C-alpha cells in the first residue's frame, strides 16, 4: 500500500494559532434597478401630476370665462346682444313715445315686409325686473303684436331684440329713441313737440321747460329745426287740446298758426270755435279748416285817440350790445327789436324778466 504524501500549508496566524489573514469577501447586496419606485410612491406621484394638470385646466377655464364675461358686457353695452323676447314681456312705460296713439296708416307695409323677409332691424330693450322696457322700435313691436293677434302664428309671439346694459341714464335712453326717429321722413314737428313737452313734465329728467327739453332731446338736429319744434311746442301748449290730428299739420301751417296766435288778439277763440262741434274728422279735413281760418282777414284793432296823428311817427336806431348789434324800430303802440339771435330759445321766465325791466326803465 503506498503512502500518501502530505503537504504543509502555512496559514498566517498569531502565536495562539488564530487565523489573521484576509477575510473572505462578502457578497454585495443586489442593486435596485435605477428609476424604479415602489407602488405607493408611484401612486402619490401620479396623483400629484393629475392635481397639477387639473389646477392648470381650471385656471385656463376661469381666464376664458372672465374674457367671455367682459366681451359679453361690451357687446351688451353696444346693443349687439340679440335674443328672441316674448311680446308680453316688453313694457312701454318708462319712456314717453314720440308716436301718437292713433292709427298708423303705414303699419300695413311694415307688417307685409316682416311676413315676407322677417325683421331685419331688431328692436332695443333694457332688462327691467322680470321683463324688459322698450327703448327703440315702437312701430316694429306694434307690427309684431298685430301680426300675432291676426294670425296666431307662434313665429310672431317673440320678437328679435337687442339687449342694452341696465342702468343707462334716462336722458341717454330718450336720445337713443329720438336720434333713431330723426331720420324718419314721416315724423312730424307736432310729434316731436309733444315728446319735448312730456319730457319737460317728467320728474325724472333735468329739463325745466320746453326749450331746455328740446335742447337735450334734439341736440343732433340743426338749430333751425329746433326752432321749428319750439314753435310747434308753443302751438300745442296753447291749443293742442282742440286739435284731433296735430301730427298732420305741416311745418308752414303750424308756423303760421303760432304766429297768428301770438300776434292777433282773439285768434285762439276763433280757432277753437272753428274746430268745436266738428265731430270726428280726417287729418286732411282738419288741416283744411285751419287753412281757411288763416285766410280770413284779421280783425282790425280799434283806433285809439291820437293814433291818426302818430301813425306815421317812427323812431329807428341801432344799439351795440355784447351779443351783437340790435336794430330797434319804435312807433305808436309797437317796439321792434331785431338781431341775429333765436329769441324763441330763451327761457320764457328770462324773457318776461327782461321785458319787465325794459318797461320799468322806460317809465323811470
pLDDT digits (tens, 9 = 90+) for 271-323: 999 998 888 888 889 999 999 999 876 665 555 555 444 544 667 777 777 77
Q: Find cell 279748416 and name the residue.
A: 289
248 against 21, higher pLDDT? 248
Cell of 155: 313665429
Report CA Rg, the chain.
46
The pairing of strands 158-163 and 123-128 is: parallel
Q: Which helix (H) or strand (E) holds 320?
A: strand 314-321
Q: At which residue does the C-alpha cell 309733444 appear?
A: 194
| Mean pLDDT within 96-112 | 69
Question: Which residues of the chain does CATH 3.90.1530.10 include?
Answer: 53-168
Q: Is the pTM of this model over 0.75?
A: no
Percent of the chain residues topping a pLDDT of 90: 18
**What local confidence, expressed as pLDDT, does residue 254 receive?**
93
pLDDT exceeds cutoff 90 at 265? no
Give me the architecture of the 188-297 domain, per CATH.
Orthogonal Bundle (1.10)
For helices 267-275 and 283-295, give the axis angle rounded to 10 degrees.
Answer: 140
Q: Is the pLDDT of residue 66 over 90?
A: no
**What is the pLDDT, as a whole number, of residue 4?**
54
**173 or 111: which leads in pLDDT:** 111
Confidence (pLDDT) at 277:
81
pLDDT band for position 77 (50/70/90)?
Answer: low
Residue ranges matching CATH 1.10.10 in the chain: 188-297
Domain 53-168 belongs to what architecture? Alpha-Beta Complex (3.90)
Q: Three cell numbers at 343? A: 329769441
* 3-class SS of residue 240: helix
Predicted local distance difference test score (pLDDT) of residue 327: 76
Share of the chain above pLDDT 70, in %: 73
Amino acid at each position: 500500500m503506498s503512502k500518501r504524501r502530505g503537504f504543509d500549508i502555512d496559514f498566517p496566524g498569531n502565536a495562539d494559532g488564530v487565523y489573521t489573514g484576509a477575510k473572505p469577501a462578502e457578497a454585495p447586496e443586489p442593486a435596485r434597478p435605477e428609476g424604479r419606485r415602489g407602488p405607493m410612491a408611484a401612486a402619490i406621484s401620479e396623483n400629484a401630476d393629475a392635481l397639477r394638470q387639473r389646477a392648470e385646466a381650471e385656471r385656463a377655464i376661469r381666464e376664458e370665462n372672465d374674457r367671455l364675461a367682459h366681451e359679453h358686457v361690451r357687446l351688451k353695452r353696444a346693443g349687439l346682444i340679440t335674443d328672441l323676447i316674448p311680446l308680453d314681456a316688453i313694457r312701454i312705460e318708462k319712456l314717453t313715445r314720440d308716436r301718437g296713439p292713433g292709427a298708423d296708416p303705414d303699419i300695413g307695409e311694415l307688417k307685409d315686409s316682416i311676413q315676407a323677409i322677417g325683421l331685419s332691424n331688431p328692436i332695443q330693450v333694457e332688462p327691467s325686473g322680470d321683463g324688459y322696457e322698450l327703448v327703440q322700435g315702437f312701430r316694429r313691436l306694434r307690427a309684431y303684436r298685430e301680426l300675432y293677434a291676426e294670425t296666431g302664428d307662434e313665429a310672431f309671439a317673440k320678437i328679435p331684440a337687442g339687449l342694452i346694459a341696465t342702468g343707462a341714464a334716462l336722458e341717454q335712453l330718450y336720445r337713443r329713441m329720438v336720434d333713431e326717429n330723426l331720420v324718419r321722413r314721416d315724423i312730424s314737428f307736432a310729434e316731436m313737440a309733444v315728446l319735448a313737452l312730456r319730457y319737460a313734465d317728467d320728474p325724472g329728467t333735468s329739463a325745466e321747460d320746453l326749450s331746455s327739453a328740446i335742447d337735450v332731446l334734439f341736440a343732433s338736429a340743426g338749430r333751425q329745426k329746433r326752432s321749428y319744434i319750439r314753435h310747434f311746442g308753443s302751438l300745442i301748449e296753447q291749443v293742442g287740446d282742440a286739435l284731433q290730428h296735430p301730427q298732420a299739420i305741416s311745418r308752414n301751417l303750424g308756423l303760421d298758426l303760432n304766429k297768428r296766435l301770438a300776434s292777433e288778439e282773439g285768434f285762439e277763440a276763433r280757432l277753437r270755435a272753428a274746430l268745436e262741434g266738428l265731430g270726428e274728422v280726417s287729418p286732411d279735413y282738419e288741416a283744411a279748416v285751419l287753412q281757411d281760418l288763416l285766410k280770413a282777414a284779421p280783425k282790425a284793432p280799434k283806433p285809439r285817440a291820437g293814433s291818426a296823428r302818430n301813425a306815421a311817427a317812427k323812431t329807428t336806431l341801432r344799439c351795440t350790445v355784447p351779443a351783437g348789434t340790435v336794430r330797434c324800430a319804435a312807433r305808436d303802440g309797437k317796439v321792434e327789436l331785431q338781431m341775429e339771435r333765436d329769441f324763441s330759445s330763451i327761457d320764457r321766465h328770462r324773457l318776461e324778466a327782461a321785458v319787465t325791466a325794459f318797461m320799468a326803465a322806460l317809465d323811470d
